[in-house]
C-alpha cells in the first residue's frame, strides 16, 4: 500500500499496447506514447511561445506525462470505439476519472492526496496547455499510422487513424497547428518513395475535404 503501489503501477503502462488487436509491424506501448506526447507538446508550446502566447510549462509537462495514466485501469481503447458517440466518450471519461480517484484516495497520504488528484485528472481542457496536449496526442496518432502505412501495412484501420488525427488537428486554431501543417507534415511527405507517394495522395484527399 502507499506511494510504492503508484510507482510500481507505472510499469504497467509499458505492457499496455496501443491499437490493441490490430496487426502492426511495430508495437507502441502507452509509456512510450506518453513520453513522445510530452516531446511533441514541448515543441508545439515553444512555437506558441514564440508567437507571444504565455505557457505554463509546469502544467504542460504534467498534463502530457500523465494524460494516459488512467489506462492502467481500463487499458487502451481503440479511438473509433472511444469516440463513437459523445455519450460513450463521456461515460468512459467518468469511469477513468472515478477509478483513478479511488486509487489515489486509497494509496496516497493526506499531504499528497489533493495534489495528485489534480495532477492525474483529465488534462485535455480549454487551457492553452490542454489544447496543446490534445494536438500533441493526435500528432502521435499521425506518426503511428504513418509509420505503419510507410512500412506497407495495408490494414485500413491505419488510414482511418491517420485521417481522423489530421482532421482533429486541423480543427484546432493555434499557431502551432499552422506550423505542423506548413513544416512538419510537409517534411514527412517530402520522401519520393512509392509508399510516401501513396500517403501524399491520402493526405491531399483528407485536407481537401
Q: Which residue has the higher pLDDT, 20 or 33?
A: 33
pTM of the prediction? Answer: 0.89
Query: 173-201 burial by CB neighbour count: b if 16+ within 10 A, else e?
Result: ebebbebbeeebbeebbeeeeeebeebee
**Using CA atoms in the order 120, 179, 45, 40, what is the torsion angle rounded to 10 degrees?**
50
Question: For the chain, what is the domain count?
Answer: 1
Structure confidence by residue, pLDDT tens digits, 151-170: 999 999 999 999 999 999 99
Q: Quick one: which of 27, 32, 36 has its CA closest to 14? A: 32
Judge whether 61 and 38 are in contact, CB under 8 Å.
yes
User: Considering just the CA atoms, what is the radius of gyration of the chain in Å?
Assistant: 18
Eight-class DSSP state of 28: -
pLDDT at 106: 92
132: domain CATH number?
Answer: 1.10.3210.10
pLDDT at 77: 67
Contacts of 49 (CB under 8 A, 6+ apart): 55
Contacts of 78 (CB under 8 A, 6+ apart): 19, 20, 21, 22
Residue range(s) defining the domain that contains residue 193: 3-207
Structure confidence by residue, pLDDT tens digits, 169-199: 999 999 999 999 999 999 988 876 666 777 8
Q: Which residue has the higher pLDDT, 8 or 81?
A: 8
Span 77-94, average pLDDT: 69
Whether 83 shows a pLDDT value over 60: the answer reads no
Q: Quick one: which of 111, 117, 147, 122 has its CA closest to 36? A: 147
Query: What band does 4 get if pLDDT is binned at 50, 70 and 90?
Result: very high
Query: What band does 201 get if pLDDT is binned at 50, 70 and 90?
Result: confident
pLDDT at 80: 61
Judge whether 198 and 151 are in contact, CB under 8 Å.
no
Amino acid at each position: 500500500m502507499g506511494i510504492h503501489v503508484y510507482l510500481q503501477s507505472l510499469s504497467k503502462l509499458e505492457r499496455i499496447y496501443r491499437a490493441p488487436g490490430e496487426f502492426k509491424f511495430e508495437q507502441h506501448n502507452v509509456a512510450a506514447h506518453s513520453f513522445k506526447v510530452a516531446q511533441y507538446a514541448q515543441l508545439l508550446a515553444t512555437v506558441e511561445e514564440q508567437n507571444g502566447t504565455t505557457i505554463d510549462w509546469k502544467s504542460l509537462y504534467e498534463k502530457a506525462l500523465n494524460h494516459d495514466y488512467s489506462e492502467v485501469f481500463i487499458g487502451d481503447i481503440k479511438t473509433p470505439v472511444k469516440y463513437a458517440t459523445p455519450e460513450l466518450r463521456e461515460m468512459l471519461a467518468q469511469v477513468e476519472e472515478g477509478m483513478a480517484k479511488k486509487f489515489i484516495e486509497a494509496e496516497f497520504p493526506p499531504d499528497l492526496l489533493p495534489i495528485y488528484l489534480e495532477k492525474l485528472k483529465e488534462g485535455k481542457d480549454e487551457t492553452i496547455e490542454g489544447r496543446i496536449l490534445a494536438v500533441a496526442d493526435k500528432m502521435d496518432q499521425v506518426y503511428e499510422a504513418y509509420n505503419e502505412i510507410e512500412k506497407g501495412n495495408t490494414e485500413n484501420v491505419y488510414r482511418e487513424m491517420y485521417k481522423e488525427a489530421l482532421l482533429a488537428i486541423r480543427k484546432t486554431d493555434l499557431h502551432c497547428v499552422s506550423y505542423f501543417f506548413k513544416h512538419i507534415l510537409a517534411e514527412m511527405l517530402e520522401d519520393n518513395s512509392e509508399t510516401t507517394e501513396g500517403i501524399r495522395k491520402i493526405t491531399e484527399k483528407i485536407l481537401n475535404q
